[in-house]
Chain A
Amino acid sequence: MAITVKTVRRPEGEVSYLRATLKGMVVTLSHVFRPKVTMEYPEQKSTDDWTLSPRWRGTHRMLTDEQGRAKCVACGLCPQICPANCIKLVPGEDEEGHRYPLIYEIDEFRCIFCGYCQEVCPEEAIHVGVHYENAEYERSRFVYDLERLCAQTHPVSTLWDPSDPQGE
């Protein structure tokens, strides 16, 4: 059986691409006059109506006392509570007989940023930070030692306070 082709005539107005193209251009042009929603990272890191939450849990920071020493007393609670087992702590004694960490290392690759270490710390020494720019050239650089943790300057996280559940 021979193949027959049935030709259907369509109205000119429906098959013209010109109309659809112009419609698209109108949509595109209308966006030019709308308020901007993108942020030009990395030049711009926050806007008036958007910043990192103060409860953001990023890479750690160790707070220091007036003499610049870590506030940590090596009590061993953070390695105990850490669900990812990413904190290495070896306690020791300084010249004045105070307990302090000989080794304090956090493997930021293993860390799951739960913030339990900050929550459990009785000395308010270790904190998770409001910080997210952590790129490095070597994997080994992601194990933060005590010196590096103390040298961090970013703000620290404000954890959720059960007594003030609505507050920031």
Chain B
Amino acid sequence: MADQPLVRLTIEGVPVSVPQGTLVIEAAKQAGVMIPHYCYHSGLPVAGVCRMCLVEIETTPKLQIACATQAAEGMVVNVLSAQAREARQGVLEFLLINHPLDCPICDQAGECELQDYVFQEGRSRTRYTPTYAKRFNPVEDFGGDVLYVPNRCILCTRCVRFMEHVAEEPILNVSERGDRAYIGIHPDRHLDHPWAGNVVDLCPVGSLLSKDFLHKARAWELDKTPGVCTGCSQGCNVNLDTRTDVVVRVRPRANLDVNQYFMCDHGRMQYRWMNRGDRIEAPLVAHGHELAAVSWDHAFARAAEIVRGTAGRAAVLASPRASTEALFLAKRVLGRFDLTAAFRVQRVSEEAPLIGVPNLALRSERAPNVTGATLLGYTEQFEVAVKALSGSAVVLVLDDPLEGVSADLLRAAGQVIYLGTVLPDAARAAHVVLPIANVAEEDGTFVNRDQRVQRYFQAKVGPGMARPAWWVLGELLAELKLGGPFGSAAEAFAWMAAEEPRFGGLSYQLLGTRGMVLPAGRPAGVGA
């Protein structure tokens, strides 16, 4: 892009310079003007069907659509002139002829572009008589997670273009013609493509709905927190939508270097476990054969006593869902031992790529921080580590669900410190149990398969006394006089960046919400 010649143009009186070939609608964003649009989407091919982005271009006799007009040298674009506004008002009036007045029961209400633009520049009253019968088609189940409400459809064809050009499985089309047109689906097919859920996000109105989210919450009740998808090692950027400390849906967050504007259905459904109710709410210490709830101070003292009082071999059984900070600090706690650090990850045989976007797929390894764990010296030889448990003086479990690891096997080890969100039966053999926050309840970072370090943010409050793993391990390190404690995840990361050369030079501030590729890593990402 950099070597392309620039053209200068004026949009709403603001002079801007953009590379040749830029569309007027994109150039307007640089001028701080949002041109109303429905069919245009930066991630899809241009269709120019909605006519909503009509703008006045001086020297051109008729109004032009900003989404299909390239910026040219000396162009003067008026977005808010009387002529352009009147034209867009007309377009909105046509869209509203058949659009039902069912905003109160529509899931899109509050984040609906039709609502926004009508409010912004539509007519305040209808010119149609109340007896006018609107077009009616019954609600259709498209299969997968998608429901189609044809009455609300404004025929922008974003969904059709997504399935055709991005997913490359053209099973949607515009059926019929004129005012009878609707979105049709192949009669023998369902919308069960692994990335089909994106059509719900792409739909500017409430025509394509998620069955999972149907009637669950209103858009204005949701708090959005930037996060990273935990579904696989791709590390798609997401927003966690929460209502009163419950995650109710996950939607993609645009990051052109990772997932563009999309995320897969598998990742979309990866949120219910974040709301689990059966969490550990207090630190527990073994008292005879029972685990007894104690204060944090007491638990740290006991854990430090275990680490200090033993020597020889030790093992860390970590989860690749733990943050990079926690993985690093867990190894530091047992730094002076002969350490075996292992994790395990669920691998499925097939990846599910989104064909239209290079280097984007639902990956076979179904955990977000496999690369982070590997970089920090964890190996995937989990079974070997489990077999070696009996000879270990100390075992630190970091949020591994301990499936297939029996309590007897853990008892065979010397002392067991268990950091986890929930308490599996085997973990009852632990000597100290420290409750930690899950991914929605803490700040942290994941390293995706392209070695991109990405931050995720706290979206809700953890239960009871559960605290982020970086805090718990930091306090434990301080108790052992090995480092810490940390006041924030940023401090923990800064310490890791100082100690671990691979993360050198990085900080939370630099990572921002888009993440950065590790200095030694290959420059990967979409289109690279």
Contact = CB atoms under 8 A, between A and B. Distances in A.
Interface of A: 73-77, 80, 91-93, 97-99, 122-123
Contact of A122 (B103, B214, B221): B103
Q: Is the interface of A mostly helix, strand, loop or mixed?
A: loop
Contacts of B109: 75
Given A73-B104, A75-B105, A97-B139, A80 B220 contact: yes
B215 interface: yes
Interface residues of B, number: 11
Nearest to B104: A75
Contacts of A74: 105, 215
A92 B215 contact: yes
B109 to A, nearest CB: 8
Interface string B220-240: 110000000000000000000
Nearest to B105: A99
A69 B360 CA distance: 49
A91 B104 CA distance: 11
Contacts of B104: 73, 75, 77, 122-123
A77 B221 CA distance: 10
B190 interface: no
Contacts, number: 28
A78 to B, nearest CB: 11
Contacts of B103: 75, 122
B152 to A, nearest CB: 14
A77 B104 CA distance: 8
Nearest to A77: B104
5 contacts: A73-B104, A74-B215, A75-B105, A99-B215, A122-B103
Contacts of A122: 103-104
Contacts of B214: 93
Interface string B83-121: 000000000000000000001110001000000000000
Nearest to A93: B215
B218 interface: yes
A122 B104 CA distance: 7
Given A73-B104, A75-B104, A99-B105, A91 B215 contact: yes
- Which 7 A-B residue pairings sit nearest by Cβ, starting from the closest? A75-B104, A76-B218, A99-B105, A122-B104, A91-B215, A73-B105, A73-B104
Contacts of B218: 75-76, 80
A63 B378 CA distance: 64
Nearest to A89: B218
Nearest to B214: A93
